[in-house]
Structure 1
Amino acid sequence: MPLPRPEPGDWSSPAELAKLQEAELPRVLAQAMRSPFYTSRYAGRAAPAEAADFAGIELTTKQDLRDHYPFGMLAVDREKLATYHESSGTSGEPTASYYTDEDWADLAERYARKWVGITPADTFLVRTPYGLVITAHLAQAAGRLRGATIVPGDARSLTTPLPRMIRVMRDLDVSLTWCNPTEIMMLAATAKAAGLRPEKDFPALRAMFTAAEPLTEVRRRRISEIWGGIPIVEEYGSTETGTIAGQCPQGSLHLWADRAVFEVWDPRTGTLSATGRGQLVVTPLHREAMPLLRYNLADDVEVTDGGCACDWVLPTVRVLGRSGAGYSVGTGTVTQQRLEELVFSLPIEYDVMFWRAMAHPGLLRVEFEAPDAVRERAVKELTRLIDRELGVPHEITGLPLGTLVPTSALTAQRDILKARYLFGEGEDWDKAVMYA
């Protein structure tokens, strides 16, 4: 019999939310002690069993997960597992994660907590990798839970090039998409390369869900503007935890504190607190296969409690990434977040979508693509913004469209083949066995 899980409306104050967490902790601790990792960690000493014991628990790290690959964190019989996943490995070697069917019920419910709801009337394009990471599977499970039609668009796949996705979005009246912010920009650029207007020629599209990259408010507004003003709905999570925060109608990211205990770890002092700036620590409350106690995601965040006009009784989180300190240039410091805000402060008519920067000790180099007619003006405007806001030595270069993101990536329909072994005279038999 599945255990009941909280839903919005089950609490009306921070105190009630804390009681929900405390009531779950004894069960979470007991489940964790069924895994080899936590059993060995507490060998020869008393294991935490009550909510009061939680304050003394040490952090679980990504290295712990790597050291106990593949099943050292497993707390159920392998026969109960539904799926196995690995993280993308952006911060080092990938980590393994696994989920039961009961875990997946929780994962799908949390993802589906979008203020722009998923409905049976929706056609939902999932444009993230269907590989070992959890992202595409998470969206598909949530979409099916709410009755939507799923279009498994994948990403970085030979079988789903960008032009094919644009055709699918138009022909199938796609109403929702799920992809990272850069992919949303790539889709817009592909539509433009095909002679379409992202802001007008996709009338069924009503929202785009996004995650996987820190997203400034300026960039989110620009993406929305490019796509005709539709909501760009952000969420935050990981393969190890699933969705842990969702965006409210006011644009704030709120931690799902009814489904996990969240803390902020200050690596300078080693202290943990409910709010503040530091690295996010997560203890899922409804995890069966792979319980995690005080798992340090190693993401730099800022957590605050209350104060959002949406009236959700949940803490808010601002995700700063894993390099929030930035780079020293001259006598100043440059962060990706601040630079992104400046780039996307340029007027939309400059049509700037793709950029890159290199921080040298004495010079910040920035390059961006812009159409010929506005490139010089865009360079002057970004130069003015960086002078005023950053005050560091810099060199700004405007590039022709197609320089950073090759036009072929936006227009090519790849020649995808199934494995073939027999060829006729004049055919390219170098394609034997291979798929492309």
Structure 2
Amino acid sequence: MTSALNRRPRIGDWPDYAGLERLQDARLGRTLAAAGRSPFYRNRADGVPASRAELADYPLTGKQDLRDAYPFGLLAVDRTEVATYHESSGSSGSPTASYYTAEDWLDLIDRYARKHVGIRADDTFLVRTPYALMITGHLAHAAARSRGATVVPADNRSLVTPYAKVVRLLHDLDVSLTWSLPTDALLWAASAAHLGLRPAHDFPALRALFVGGEPLSPARRARIAELWAAPVVEEYGATETGSLAGECPHGRLHLWADRAIFEVRDPLTGRTTPAGHGQLVVTPLYREAMPLLRYLIEDEVDVSYESCPCGWVLPTVRVLGRYRPGAGLTQADVEELVFGLPAEYGVLFWRARTEGARLRVQIEVAEGHREPAVRRLRDGIGAVHGLTAEIDALPPGALVPAALLTASPDVLKPRGLFDDGEDWTRALRYY
């Protein structure tokens, strides 16, 4: 029997955007029917929309709706059909639950594996994003295994794999592909340098770095690629939705509009349009367990339907981070200027905050380059954004200590019985 994976559209199955919309419409009926089986949507005062026209005027689904429906208020299938349960990182303090059936997972895997560089059976794929309750590590792991690759489950935010161990794994196992936050790739480079390794020369098997989970400016992307002498391939998605966009051979992010309907919401007026600048709204078209109708991601984006040299008939997206009304500045804005500084300045790590009408920025910068780095960055922020900037040029190690980059802490199993003279303050702890 042909699997559900093979019935899903593939890039090039539609000739133009009218054909893409027909693909969406062909699937939308099943999505709306699934929503009708979800207590959350069934009990809404507005009911469940019956068509695309009704969907366009349907209330948005927000993150607070997901929190209020915790844990299974959005479940549209029997509990026995749920394959995995996940939660977001909970940075707001309240979790949002997500769940997927085995059929949902086929689509998740297919979307993630749409990498233009490909995932091959001869690849060794290091997964350096969280496993635990978030979907990101599990998704990359499953997609890599579906293509026959060897997976190195290095996890993240874990005592077991500090940066120095990641560098060892990258080097000793001839890792060819990685999946991480963009910041992690910078941390590995700094750790490798402290350990006497050259990222651009001592990791010859590395053929691409897959990154996601943070806004990525062109300048930071270029710096990471230069450091590792390998292309950086960007991915965009969320625990609640899986992959939403992937990169084409020309380095542009394309929304997977054959698998979801996308809109852009103006946060000031609340109006939505197919393209433009605002907050991303998504209606996934391949969700059985947890259908979402007009889900507001809250990320600030620029969406365009202009043609791309790659020929993909899919809208492009620039992800700018979370929108903050009135801030007038995104992380990507500052990052572009920071990593636009010459590479010889050695700037890898920075942080900034607004202080009234002033922007305070701290950067780690190599000795001998601090004065020009401060001048160029201050002038750039003033010229591009019209802000007064205070720049603190800090020595390397001030923001990311060398001890963090080189440490290999012991990770233990909990113990209760110790010999005379042993340090028993570590009883029942993992470190």
Q: Deviations over 1:245-298 (max 9, x none)?
A: 011111111100000011112233232221112211111111110011111111
Q: Secondary structure at the match of 1:337?
A: helix
Matched, 1:304 2:297: no
Q: What's the secondary structure of 2:369's corresponding residue?
A: helix
The residue type paired with residue 418 of structure 1 is K
What is the 5 A alignment of 1:92-111? 93-111=94-112
Which position in structure 1 is the counterpart of 2:12?
9
TM-superposed CA distance for 1:420, in Å, is 1.2
2-side partners of 1:434 and 1:132: how far apart? 22
CA contact (8 A) 1:128 1:155 kept: yes
The one-character-per-residue Cα deviations of 1:383-403 (angstroms, maximum 9, x if unpaired) are 343344344333222111111
Structure 2 matches for 1:158-307, cutoff 5 A? 158-228=159-229, 230-307=230-307
Asked if 1:416 is matched to 2:411, the reply is yes
The CA distance in 2 between the partners of 1:389 and 1:63, in whole Å, is 35
Report if the CA contact (8 A) 1:241-1:284 is conserved: yes
1:109-136 superposed Cα distances (whole Å, 9 cap, x missing partner): 0000011110001000000111211110
Flag structure 2 segments of 5+ consecutive residues without an equivalent.
none
Answering whether residue 349 of structure 2 is matched by residue 348 of structure 1, we say: no
C-alpha distance in 2 between matches for 1:124 and 1:435: 27
Query: Quick check: 1:122–1:175 contact (8 Å CA) kept in 2?
Result: yes
Distance (whole Å) between structure 1 residues aligned to residue 389 and residue 210 of structure 2: 34
Counterpart for residue 21 of structure 2: 18
Question: Which deviations, in whole Å up to 9, do the C-alpha atoms of 1:226-254 show, x marking residues without a partner?
Answer: 112x1111111000000000111111111
* Cα distance per residue 1:363-405 (max 9 Å; x no partner): 3222111222433343333334334434433322211111100
After TM superposition, the structure 1 = structure 2 runs for residues 61-76 of structure 1, keeping only pairs within 5 Å, are 61-76=62-77
Q: Give me the identity figure in percent.
A: 59
2:89 aligns to what?
88
Report how far residue 335 of structure 1 moved: 3.5
Counterpart-to-counterpart distance in 2, 1:334 and 1:293: 30
Matched, 1:358 2:359: no
Provide the TM-score with structure 1 as the length reference: 0.94
The CA deviation at 1:92 is 5.5
Gaps of 5+ in 1: 328-332
* Displacement of 1:173: 0.3
Q: Which secondary structure does the structure 2 equivalent of 1:163 belong to?
A: helix
The structural deviation recorded for 1:362 is 4.4
Q: Distance in 2 between matches of 1:170 and 1:191?
A: 10
Q: Structure 1: which amino acid aligns with 2:400?
A: V
In the alignment, is residue 38 of structure 1 matched against residue 4 of structure 2?
no
User: Which residue identity does 1:143 align to in structure 2?
Assistant: A
Kindly provide the CA deviation profile for residues 333-376 of structure 1, in whole angstroms up to 9, marking residues without a partner as x.
54422221111111111110001123212432221112224333
Tell me the distance in 2 between the aligned counterparts of 1:312 and 1:107: 20
CA distance in 2, matches of 1:59, 1:388: 38
Per the TM alignment, residue 80 of structure 1 is displaced from its structure 2 partner at its CA by 0.9
Q: Under a length normalisation based on structure 2, what TM-score does the superposition of the two structures give?
A: 0.95
8 Å Cα contact 2:97-2:240 kept in structure 1:
yes
In 2, the alpha carbon distance for the partners of 1:213 and 1:387 equals: 25
Following TM superposition, by how much is the alpha carbon of 1:55 offset from its aligned partner in structure 2, in angstroms?
A: 2.6
Structure 2: how far apart are the matches of 1:186 and 1:209?
15
1:29 aligned partner: 32
Contact 2:189/2:199 (<8 A) preserved? yes
Change (3 A) 1:278 1:390: closer
Shift of 1:409: 0.7
The residue that corresponds to 1:330 in the other structure is none
Q: Is contact 1:325-1:335 (8 Å) kept?
A: no
Structure 2 partner of 1:400: 395
Q: Which amino acid aligns with 2:33?
A: A
Residue 320 of structure 1 is matched in structure 2 by 320
* Pair 1:271–1:394, CA change in 2 (3 A): closer
Give me the whole-angstrom Cα distance separating, in 2, the residues matched to 1:334 and 1:298: 16
Q: Distance in 1 between matches of 2:74 and 2:357?
A: 46
Q: Is the 8 A contact 1:254 1:314 kept in 2?
A: yes
Tell whether the 8 Å contact from 2:321 to 2:331 is kept in structure 1 after alignment. Answer: no
User: What SS class does the counterpart of residue 41 from structure 1 fall into?
Assistant: coil
> Deviation at 1:325?
5.1
Q: Which whole-Å CA distance do the structure 2 matches of 1:338 and 1:317 have between them? A: 16
In the alignment, structure 1 residue 337 sits paired with structure 2 residue 332: yes
- Pair 222,324 (structure 1): closer, same or farther in 2 beyond 3 Å: farther
Shift of 1:324: 5.4
Which residue number in structure 1 is paired with residue 150 of structure 2?
Answer: 149
CA distance in 2, matches of 1:304, 1:72: 34
Task: Note the C-alpha offset of 1:97.
Answer: 0.2
Q: In the TM superposition, what is the alpha-carbon distance from 1:90 to its structure 2 partner?
A: 3.6
Aligned partners of 1:129 and 1:135 also within 8 Å:
yes
Equivalent position amino acid for 1:376 in 2? E
Amino acid at match of 2:310: C
Distance across 2 between alignment mates of 1:215 and 1:325: 21
The amino acid across from 1:360 in the alignment is: E
Counterpart CA distance in 2 for 1:377 and 1:159 is: 40
Residues 304 and 334 (structure 1), Cα distance of their counterparts in 2 relative to 1, 3 Å cut: closer
> Aligned in 2, Cα 1:292/1:387: closer, same or farther, shift over 3 Å?
closer
Judging changes above 3 Å, is the alpha-carbon distance between structure 1 residues 390 and 35 closer, same or farther for their aligned structure 2 residues?
A: closer
In structure 2, the CA distance between the partners of 1:428 and 1:276, relative to structure 1 (3 Å rule), is same
Count of aligned residue pairs for this structure pair: 428
Structure 1's 334 and 288: CA in aligned 2 closer, same or farther, altered over 3 A? closer
Q: What's the RMSD between the two structures over aligned residues?
A: 1.7
Counterparts of 1:363 and 1:336, CA distance in 2? 15
Superposed structure 1 runs of 4+ greater than 4 Å apart: none
Q: Is the 8 A contact 1:306 1:313 kept in 2?
A: no
More divergent stretch after superposition (368-377 vs 398-407): 368-377
